[in-house]
Amino acid sequence: MKYFMLLITLFSFSSALHAERIKDLADIEGVRSNALIGYGIVVGLNGTGDNSNSSPFTISSISAMLERFGINVRPNLSKMKPKNIAAVMVTAELPPFARPGQSLDITVSSMGDSKSLRGGTLLITPLLGGDGQAYAVAQGGLSVGGFAVSGQGTNTVKNHPTVGKIPNGARIEKAAPQGLTTAQEKVIIMLRTPDFTTVRRMKNVINKNLGKGMAKATDAGTVEVWNPHADAIELIAQLEQMELRTDRPAIVVVDERTGTIVMGQGVTIETVAVSHGNISINVAESADVSQPFGFSRGTTTVTPNTNIQVAEDGAQLVVLPRQVTLASLVSALNTVGASPSDLIAVLQAIKAAGALHAELKVM
């Protein structure tokens, strides 16, 4: 408990003076990246590849690859010990508006029992999208930020040697389907954090800059903007730079496992009295032995002796007045003198009393 940490986020300016760009608050419908995945083989490892017994799919992959080159190794599959080869999964993100010929960074992860991919080379691997079509092809030497060394008596592993990167390791062969066209009728803006107040302010700011009726809020997270000039690119560029004041709910996040408390801007409390004290109980057991007199017919008797001490730390009843800023609220709560773990209990009690004006989330 004493190692728990209290983390309080403080803001230098009030929300009334803080403005953010639409570009930093929302996304445009149709502008998104796409996940790519592929299965490949890494060769050239220094004896740190897959084991043929525990990773039989590696042997099957090698056999299928060699057959494409006219080499039949199926009669000798049981004798193959490919310690320099590893089966891997290759992942990448296809950015929006990517065109054939452009390069992608890829991540290569071992899927067998390979000890390290250090020094390996990924053979040509198609990268597929969610629709099963190949959008890129990957190949190249891996960059691994770790190593694994083992001997008969011990082994040493640094970082994570079974995952590597290949910068610009994939070449785009097919562009992803476009979800945005220049002449589309509307541009739809999607808030990353839906909020009725923020979406209304966004609509008003757009109408103020582009003209009345140009924007319409359809729900707490979506604003539709007309594209009268059939030029969505120019319209989006204008929208991204518009600024507005944001509004977020007051939230207190509590993690009882680590003792972490995070308070957002706008958290306030009503006048409330708080008393906090710790009770410690000490129970000590001892035994009293009673011996009979000599030449008597009595027997030795053992009786337990229990000593219980209860101590309660002195606690004062502290009145926390109504606070209007986060900094003053933290200062007032610190006057209670509670540790971070105790402060969690105090916050929960204040919330139960109806004096905490914020949503209390317990992780």
* Per-domain residue ranges of the chain: 19-31+179-245, 34-172, 252-362
* Length, in residues, of the chain: 363
Q: Look at residue 64 in the predicted model and tell me its pLDDT.
A: 82
Name residue 110's beta-bridge partners: 88
Please name the amino acid found at residue 223.
Answer: V
Give the containing element (helix H, strand E) for 148. Answer: strand 147-150
Q: What angle do the packed helices 232-240 and 196-210 form, to 10 degrees?
A: 120
Spans in the chain with pLDDT lower than 50: 1-17, 151-153, 279-283, 310
Q: Look at residue 159 in the predicted model and tell me its pLDDT.
A: 62
Q: Are 250 and 197 in contact (CB under 8 A)?
A: no
Give the DSSP per-residue string, 67-106.
Answer: HHTT---GGGGGG---TT-EEEEEEEEE-TT--TT-EEEE
Q: Look at residue 258 in the predicted model and tell me its pLDDT.
A: 75
Rounded Cα distance, 210 and 193, in Å:
24
Q: Look at residue 134 in the predicted model and tell me its pLDDT.
A: 94
The architecture (CATH level 2) of 19-31+179-245 comes to 2-Layer Sandwich (3.30)
Q: Are 272 and 308 in contact (CB under 8 A)?
A: no
Q: Look at residue 324 in the predicted model and tell me its pLDDT.
A: 52
Tokens encoding 127: 């990268």
61 secondary structure, DSSP code? H
Q: Look at residue 253 in the predicted model and tell me its pLDDT.
A: 83
Pairing outcome for strands 272-275 and 317-320? antiparallel
Q: Look at residue 122 in the predicted model and tell me its pLDDT.
A: 94
Burial level of 137, CB count in 10 A (0-12/13-18/19+)? middle
Our measurement of the distance from residue 186's CA atom to the centroid of its chain's CA atoms, rounded to an integer in Å, reads 33
Q: Look at residue 157 in the predicted model and tell me its pLDDT.
A: 57
